[in-house]
Chain A
Amino acid sequence: MENNLLLQINNISVVYSDVIQILKAVSLDVKKGKIVSLLGSNGAGKTTTLKSISGLLKPENGKVTEGTINYEGHNIQNSAPEIVTRLGIIQVMEGRQPFKYLTVEENLRVGTATRWGKPYKKDLELVYHYFAPLVARKHSLAGYCSGGELQMLVMGRALMAQPRLLLLDEPSLGLAPLLVKEIFEIIKRVNQEQATTLMLVEQNANMALQIADFGYVMENGKIVLEGDAKDLIENPDVKEFYLGVAATGAIKTYKDVKSYKRRKRWL
């Protein structure tokens, strides 16, 4: 195994409630210091993939039934979130999920749970440095913050844990285009300045592929395409179905069979 690999997902299957299979033989690699994007339509299994890494499947009655997830020599499939987070993997969940009745600063302090009792002042400064709009809202309840502020808050909260692998689930959800751009710039900066490895699940394929180094495309619980982000962005299938630009220039619909599915039948 190459030693610049941080995370290796090896052929995992995930089943909810013992009957509903969501992931089928998914394998992917995350290299140290890189940004990896996971694309796909709704229900493709992107979020489930993230949750199988962070250990959040268990509370939802899901389980990795086959395969392994290897993180720096630890097999972490089906580990509890308290263990996974202490290894340095933090997931930022979809839909922001702030602690509504805690102030912004208290929200950030919850991020220190993995290293309870250690000083956190420096990390607070770092978070306020990346997410300047939070400073003014420090003492107000998170429940009264705007969507953009909340996205910054939950990302900042995850940074407080000093993660080595940060899993971001749809950070652009429901944000204004300009704000999306700002958030993605910050993600890129965190990746470069803090040497944090990132895994990014996104619907906004264009944005995601622009900042990513590597990308995977999922469909129906399987990985159907993978490649360097700059290659994927040029791939005709990706262009057609995720970037909304058809090869002919006209916008096509999902009704048409996807070409890689056609290919797969011959495999």
Chain B
Amino acid sequence: MEFFFQILINGLSLGFLYALAALGFVMIFKSSSVLNFAHGELMAIGAFLFLVLSTWANLPIWLAFLITLAGSFSLGFIIERFFLRPLIGEALIEVIMLTVGLAIMFKGLMLFVFGGDIHSYPEFLPQALTLHWGAVEVPGVNVATFIVGLIFLGLFGFFFKYSSQGIYMRSVADNQPAAMALGVHVRRVFAISWAIAALVCAMSGIVIGIINGINVHEVSAIGLKVFPVVILGGLDSIGGAIIGGLIIGLLETFTGGYISTGLREVVPYIVLIMILMVKPYGLFGLVEIERV
């Protein structure tokens, strides 16, 4: 029974991590309908930035964390300004291909600077965060992920549903020419969504770094996991990202724990296909409204 609970806890933590990572993805898709293939690389950049600041520059952890967040936020702006803005008005597929290019470029740059080895952070989370419950242990990093993730998911949900800026962002995703005609600053909307997405990516990158160590290939591979998560939850739903993340996380750990570790990576995709056969827009995705 303890084994079951340990796996359950691990699965939930992993799921929450996926949900957090998927959030940045949903953010960009919701405002610009762009699938961001550079997602994993943005996570890795955040993780490495934190590594440089905390370990190599020896800054206090909180300061390094804040600078990392600010840095990724600006990186999002820079990406929008220099790579995406020239493509405004072009077909969506061109923007999506551009993100593939960005992914390759970022990966190459990181391999060049940091190499392919595994780096790790110094131990910095307080011991008090670790929870014990009988023989079941919840590592502090998972508790921290849970808290930070919950705060961010709540903030984003509120932002998109009620704030004016959030509504403008949704209007751009919905009908860009109409939003322009009403004076919505489309370029600003894209810039903000990329900036916020890069910030969330950095945060999930750091969490992965704490759990697994940082390696360019591994972090960006986990970035690809957001695809099953968001497809399962529905590409544009924040609630869907959470549920999708939890389902994929639980499936992975339970398959790994009870069936075989080899199947761990495969079963989520099998279940994904089965769910999509029943609900083609994902669990919480927007159903295309068609007027007849």
Q: Hey, which bits of chain A sit against chain B, CB under 8 A?
A: 54, 56, 58-61, 81-82, 85-86, 90-93, 97-102, 106-107, 109-114, 116-117, 141, 143-144, 154, 157-158, 161
Is B182's CB under 8 angstroms from A106's CB? no
For the A-B complex with A98-B175, A110-B182 known, give 19 more contacts whose Cβ atoms are closer than 8 Å: A54-B181, A59-B176, A82-B185, A85-B182, A85-B183, A90-B183, A92-B181, A98-B178, A99-B178, A100-B175, A100-B289, A102-B174, A106-B167, A109-B167, A113-B179, A113-B183, A113-B185, A116-B168, A161-B182
Closest 4 CB pairs of A and B: A85-B183, A143-B289, A114-B183, A99-B174
Q: Does B286 belong to the interface (CB within 8 Å)? A: yes
Which of the four size classes fits the interface of chain B? 20 to 34
Q: Does B177 belong to the interface (CB within 8 Å)? A: yes
Contacts of A100 in B (CB 8 A): 174-175, 289
* Given A101-B289, A102-B174, A106-B170, CB of A116 within 8 Å of CB of B182: no
Is B183's CB under 8 angstroms from A158's CB? no
Report the number of A-B residue pairs with Cβ-Cβ less than 8 Å.
92
A74 to B181, CA, bound (A): 19
A53 to B24, CA, bound (A): 37
A241 to chain B, nearest CB (A): 30
Is B180's CB under 8 angstroms from A81's CB? yes
- B63-99 CB contact bits vs A (8 Å, 1 = yes)? 0000000000000000000000000110000000000
Interface-central residue, A99, A100, A112, A154, by most chain B CB under 10 Å? A99
A100 to B291, CA, bound (A): 11
Interface-central residue, A90, A97, A110, A143, by most chain B CB under 10 Å? A110
A132 to B284, CA, bound (A): 32
A221 to B88, CA, bound (A): 28
Is B177's CB under 8 angstroms from A59's CB? yes
* Given A102-B167, A110-B168, A110-B171, CB of A56 within 8 Å of CB of B177: yes
Is B181's CB under 8 angstroms from A85's CB? yes
A246 to B180, CA, bound (A): 42
Q: Does B165 belong to the interface (CB within 8 Å)? A: yes
Q: Could you jot down 20 A-B contacts, CB within 8 Å?
A: A59-B180, A60-B89, A82-B180, A82-B185, A98-B175, A98-B178, A100-B175, A101-B286, A102-B170, A106-B170, A106-B171, A110-B167, A110-B171, A110-B179, A113-B168, A113-B182, A113-B183, A113-B185, A116-B165, A117-B164
- B167-201 CB contact bits vs A (8 Å, 1 = yes)? 11011001111111111111000000000000000
Interface-central residue, B164, B165, B176, B186, by most chain A CB under 10 Å? B164
A91 to B177, CA, bound (A): 11
Is A99's CB under 8 angstroms from B170's CB? yes
Is B177's CB under 8 angstroms from A93's CB? yes
Q: Hey, which bits of chain B sit against chain A, CB under 8 A?
A: 88-89, 164-165, 167-168, 170-171, 174-186, 286, 289, 291
Is A81's CB under 8 angstroms from B174's CB? no
A114 to B180, CA, bound (A): 10
A99 to B170, CA, bound (A): 9
Contacts of B167 in A (CB 8 A): 102, 106, 109-110
Is A99's CB under 8 angstroms from B171's CB? yes
Is A91's CB under 8 angstroms from B171's CB? no
Contacts of A113 in B (CB 8 A): 164, 168, 171, 179, 182-185
Contacts of B174 in A (CB 8 A): 99-102
A77 to B179, CA, bound (A): 20
Q: Which residue of A lies closest to B188 (CB)?
A: A82
Q: Which residue of B lies closest to A86 (CB)?
A: B183
Is A93's CB under 8 angstroms from B181's CB? yes
B163 to chain A, nearest CB (A): 10
B291 to chain A, nearest CB (A): 8
* Given A59-B89, A110-B167, A144-B289, CB of A90 within 8 Å of CB of B178: no
A102 to B181, CA, bound (A): 17
Q: Give the contacting residue for B181; candidates A86, A90, A98, A141; CB below 8 A.
A: A90
A170 to B84, CA, bound (A): 34
Contacts of A58 in B (CB 8 A): 89
Contacts of B182 in A (CB 8 A): 85, 90, 110-111, 113-114, 157-158, 161
Interface-central residue, B167, B168, B177, by most chain A CB under 10 Å? B167
A148 to B210, CA, bound (A): 56
